[in-house]
Amino acid sequence: MTVRVGVIGTGNIGADHVRRLSRQVSGARVTAVFDVAAQRAQDVARDVGAVAHPGWSGLVDAEDVDAVVIASPGPLHAEQVLACIDAGKPVLCEKPLATTGEDALKVIEAEVALGRRLVQVGFMRRYDRAYRVVKAAMDDGSIGEPLLAHMVHRNASVPDTFTSDMSMTDSVIHEIDTIRWLFDQEIVATTVVASKPSPLAAGRLRDPQLVLFKLTDGAVVNVEVFVNCRYGYDVRCEVVGSEGSVSMDNPSTNALLRAGRRAESVPADWRVRFDLAYLEEMQEWVDGLAKGVVSGPSSWDGYAAAVVANRAVHALAEGTRSLVELVDRPVLYS
């Protein structure tokens, strides 16, 4: 069976997903795309033999679209996901599922009313091999009882439109999901402290920031987020347990040895670092659809991440510890 996919949003990651689904993922074909930037959509469509639609809702309803990938700007996601649920079509929505907890809850309510999962959220780190090794060591008892974790999320630079809030809602939202997945716990409280700003951070951007998360069972995680580190993309994680620790360094792909020195490369951006994770994510999603199953990160994960990210924004703005309150988890996501 070939899954016919429609992609909404053909910017940075949308265009990558179109190419991945068309050239690297087996069992899938991109039949339709939409972007408000019509020329961009047409160029992407032509490249893979798809049709560029004049509107996103027509793409969702199209007969030759079995499943949808959403890669439009975050504020549009909830409405577009709800339309997919309404049409009974599986949807892989890039993070965030919604920009507010209230909108994410609407998605949960629609899925629960339907009685089955259609939504997967694009938290691709769960498909990264290095993170999976960390998770396996936590689950099989190799490090004893997991107690705390140290994480780093650095980007070389961000556009001038990037705000201090986006450090949480766009960047740390990946750590938020990773923490919940690794520890199999919810986050119950967060504190955020901004450093003195880097002189290279644009405007009033508060960068870097240090984030502290407390989990249901009392474990704690700190995250350094620094989106103007300049030297490259650097994502690290160490989980410390009662009997040992497991860590994941930023991978280097090359090393140059010369004149008594060893120089290693740093990934330029998230595309390079998580290339294989995006591929695994898409392949597992398509394989699942062929069997009628959606099993990746759920609407519940998207909801919890949105709520925590917004509480972290609040914590920075108010200079206080913010508590996280979630609704009861529906059995559909247990």
Residues found near ligand NAP in the complex (CB under 6 A):
8-14, 34-37, 40, 56, 71-74, 76, 94-95, 122, 124, 170, 270
Between 171 and 185, CB nearer to ligand NAP = 171
| Complex with ligand NAP: residue 10 or 283, whichever CB lies closer | 10
Q: Which is nearer to ligand NAP, 56 or 162 (CB)?
A: 56
CB 141, min distance to ligand NAP, A: 31
Query: Considering the complex, what minimum distance in angstroms separates the CB of residue 35 from ligand NAP?
Result: 5
Nearer to ligand NAP, 271 or 321 (CB): 271
Least distance between ligand NAP and beta carbon 298 (Å): 16
Closest distance to ligand NAP from the beta carbon of 270 (Å): 5
Q: Minimum CB separation from ligand NAP for residue 8, in Å?
A: 5
Closest residue to ligand NAP in the complex (CB): 11
Cβ proximity to ligand NAP: between 137 and 278 the closer is: 278
Look-up: residue for tokens 């179109």?
18
Q: How far apart are CA 334 and CA 326, in angstroms?
A: 14
**Which CB, 182 or 309, lies closer to ligand NAP?**
309
The tokens for 166 are 């986006």
Q: Least Å distance between CB 82 and ligand NAP?
A: 14
CB of 52 to ligand NAP, least distance (A): 11
Q: Which CB atom, from 213 or from 233, has the smaller least distance to ligand NAP?
A: 233
Quote the CA–CA distance of 327 and 334 in Å, as a whole number: 13
